Amino acid sequence: MTRASAPKSRQPNGASSIYLGTDGRWHGRVTVGVKDDGTPDRRHVSRKTRPEVTKVVRELERQRDKGAVRKAGQSWTVKTWLTHWVENIAAAHVSENTIDGYRVAVNHHLIPGLGAHRLEKLEPEHLERFYKKMQDNGSAAGTAHQAHRTIRTALNEAVRRKHLTANPASIAKAPKVEEEEVEPYTVEEVQRLLAEAAKHRNTARWVIALALGLRQGEVLGMQWDDVDFELGVIRVRRGRLRPRYKHGCGDRCGRKPGYCPQKINTRRETKNAKSRAGQRPIGVPEELLQLLRRHKEDQARERTAARDLWTEKGYVFTSPTGEPLNPNTDYHKWKELLKAAGVRDARLHDARHTAATVLLILGVSDAVVDAIMGWEPGKSARMRRRYQHLTSRVLKDTAAKVGGLLWGTDQAADNPTPDAGQGPVPAELAIHIACLGERRVPFLHREHADEVVARWRADWPDHTAEVEEWDRWRWEHQGPDGASAIRDRVPERAVVFHARALFLPGGERAATGVSEQWSVPAWDFETDRYTDRASAWRTARRPSTGQEVEAQVRGTDKGAVEAAFVEACAQAVDRARNPGKYGDIDEW
């Protein structure tokens, strides 16, 4: 009689198992967690021999117990993960400028250089060889370091989501970046820059950069509400963002979106300063306050001259139609200013370096310097060290000469104002002023001033018009409303045609009681910049409770203006019906 065999014991749920399969290979199964749908995440491995599969099973169990098993699901490559991370994760949680930097690093450097690697197979050595290759191909060390910071941030997110067990970018040696030594402008260079800036629009924009050290975005994002003339304070609250455009022509123009004649900005104009250190009040010297007052008066005249094309947004520094200045345009204006002033070429940020240097020379306390410059606690000591390499001339200036240091008042004392009654002005220094009623327009050449006066007399015989001769110093320092650019040609005589329509939310045309089309002679000299095209049109949402949309057209060709008016009205109707499409609201 045979003894009955004992029943085979059953493994508990979730335990690992090793068995010989019908295919002749040894198989192992290890439960490492739970899938997204709630079912057990049971991993399978296969080897030729039992010892081999046992070793792999035990390693999986150790990783499971340490919480280091890679998450099941999509098998990521570096390219697919970086693309997913930058567009679906980072884009929703960082600022516009930060995501722009991430996209450049990802799309122009990381994906072309590393994208084919499987995410879990990426090694620190791959990254280090990639950084070296970037620099060998001409990229700056700072660019390679930006790529390193970007992939480190992206892979940290992959580790957090268990697509990776460790971040190789945290192990890889980052490219070495030499901290750039600050070289501020000398006193003479600052004075030449300020003298040249006085000849152009928005003079105060450059004085603020050189005297107060505001960042480019802080200056361009400043509004009149931020300037307290009574207290003598500017409150820094926001920064200007670089615009991003899309086609407004239906992609018919064949150009890049930024060069489309009907381009539409899809990004908000400003963002609030991101830290308490960034949001700060700054005391303003009286000379600069006077300059800002004159600038406000100049802007009021431009507003009147622009008429229907002006969009009131409250910015201190604007285009001739009231729009905030484009940072790219502002950068090129800075380069033109350096060239015209005969000053060495430098970055726009070097103006900020100069202001910080002046503050440190004058013995201003560290806490006050940090507050004025907007340096965060913890970083300020390092920043101050960068600004302590000073030029020999600047070291000799003292706190008692702040006005002379920037505005040259002590230099002016050594060179008194020329007296207009001391005799004829030398020909090489003469400026010919066309006095048109109460207005004065300066010309380099006498014949140009005479021609303008003759035209003015013909059009307005009841108004006085004559030519005066001034010397250049007198015009630049005593001219009405501050120094102005001196013209080397006669403005073209033209008629400007206008068209305007107003649309309510929903697209219905509003009755305004104002003629929709009219024309005026282009004798207002400040409007030369508006009248050099056959037609130009735009649409704008009024910043009011009604939120109406205006269609505005101006140009020197009546037929072109009428044709453009049809296009402008069509876009205005679409904009009135779909504000989110044009970036007029934040929730889109």
* Catalytic residue annotation: 215, 246, 349, 352, 375, 387
- What the block records as the tokens of 463 is 């108004």
Q: Containing H/E element for 245?
A: strand 245-246
Under 8 Å CB-to-CB from 551, ≥6 apart: which residues? 499, 500, 501, 502, 503, 537, 539, 565, 568, 569, 571, 572
| Rounded Cα gap, residues 212 and 276, in angstroms | 18
| Rounded Cα gap, residues 46 and 57, in angstroms | 10
First to last CA, the chain: 84
| Rounded Cα gap, residues 103 and 149, in angstroms | 13
| Rounded Cα gap, residues 270 and 137, in angstroms | 36
| Rounded Cα gap, residues 110 and 152, in angstroms | 11
Q: Give the three-state DSSP class for 400.
A: helix
- What the block records as the tokens of 91 is 């884009």
Neighbours of 208 (CB within 10 A): 25
> Which amino acid is it at 192?
R
Beta bridge partners of 227: 234
Alpha-carbon distances of 186 from 182, 392, 451, rounded to whole Å? 12, 9, 43
Which residue has tokens 């009040």? Answer: 281
The string of DSSP codes covering 74-130 is ---BHHHHHHHIIIIIGGGTS-HHHHHHHHHIIIIIIHHHHTTSBGGG--HHHHHHH
Whether the CB-CB separation of 147 and 108 falls below 8 Å is answered with no
| Rounded Cα gap, residues 357 and 360, in angstroms | 5
Whether the CB-CB separation of 211 and 285 falls below 8 Å is answered with yes
